[in-house]
Amino acid sequence: MRLALVLLLALSIGVADEARVLARLLDSPDAAVRAAAAHALDAEGLEAAPLLERLEREVTTPDARALLANLFTARRGELRARPAETLLAWAGRLGPPAQWRLGVGRSSAGRPILYFDAATLSARVGGIERLAVLEYLVCVEVPGDGLAGKGYESLAAMKAAEWEALRARIGPTAKLHLRWRGARPGAVALLDALPWALPVEEEAGVRIGGNHDERANGLLPPHETALQVGVEVE
């Protein structure tokens, strides 16, 4: 309802298309106008997700992009609380960029996947070449303690809040996936990339067994790359 009212009021700017109207409002130099448009979108909840996807292509200002980032984050939280069939439906409705922003996807077998943000590490960590002694899938970033001593043997690092969200989803039979921009295919099952992996959730992160030298493994993402770790949802 709030979104309809905002669009009705916005007709005065002479743009009829919904996404273009909202993009103009989000790009406005007036902070109150930007806030009103964002509030209207937020009130629509998850149903606004396809429109957010379109708006990312329409807006032109840093302020608008920051507002959209916040809206995507809120929708991601909603999706994480939904059952498997809802996740699967949304994964089918959205394009790859929005699936990434919302942390949702589908396995090659059509199972819904929830994704959690991480990032691979630099070429050398603690004086050791990355992937030379791989033991952890991800290690958690501990405030004031860096990577808690696990960085040199980890594929990637994950912020503490995102780690807690992933941790709540990992069980002894969890099926894990990796995806990053430019990956071929778009997502890689962990057991395809690392057949020896036996994921075990620990305080420091997800240990997968090792130490294995995986420097020549072409199925793993490169250095310093945004990564998402996915868990199939039953």
Instruction: State the pLDDT at residue 1.
Output: 41
Query: What confidence tens digit (pLDDT) does each residue in 160-177 have?
Result: 899 999 999 888 888 999
SS (H, E, C) 136-187: EEEEECECCCECCCCHHHEEEEECHHHHHHHHCCCCCCCCEEEECCCCCCCE
Instruction: State the pLDDT at residue 152.
Output: 87
How far is 41 from 6, CA to CA, in rounded Å? 9
CA distances for 136 relative to 36, 119, 131, 219, 223, angstroms = 44, 13, 10, 16, 15
Dig out the tokens for 136 from the structure: 């952890």
Residue 61 has pLDDT above 80, yes or no: yes
What pTM was estimated for this model as a whole?
0.86
Query: What confidence tens digit (pLDDT) does each residue in 100-114 have?
Result: 999 999 988 889 999
Instruction: State the pLDDT at residue 137.
Output: 95
**In the predicted model, what is the mean pLDDT of the chain?**
87
Q: What percent of the chain has pLDDT over 70?
A: 90
Q: Are 4 and 10 within 8 A, CB to CB?
A: no
Query: What confidence tens digit (pLDDT) does each residue in 5-51 have?
Result: 555 555 445 445 778 888 988 999 999 889 988 988 898 888 888 88
- Residue 31 DSSP SS3: helix
How far is 36 from 170, CA to CA, in rounded Å? 38
Question: 225 CB contacts (<8 Å, ≥6 apart)?
Answer: 119, 120, 180, 181
Instruction: Characterize the bridge pairing of strands 205-212 and 200-202.
Output: antiparallel
- Residue 29 DSSP SS3: coil
Query: What confidence tens digit (pLDDT) does each residue in 72-123 have?
Result: 999 998 889 888 898 888 888 888 888 999 999 998 888 999 999 999 998 9
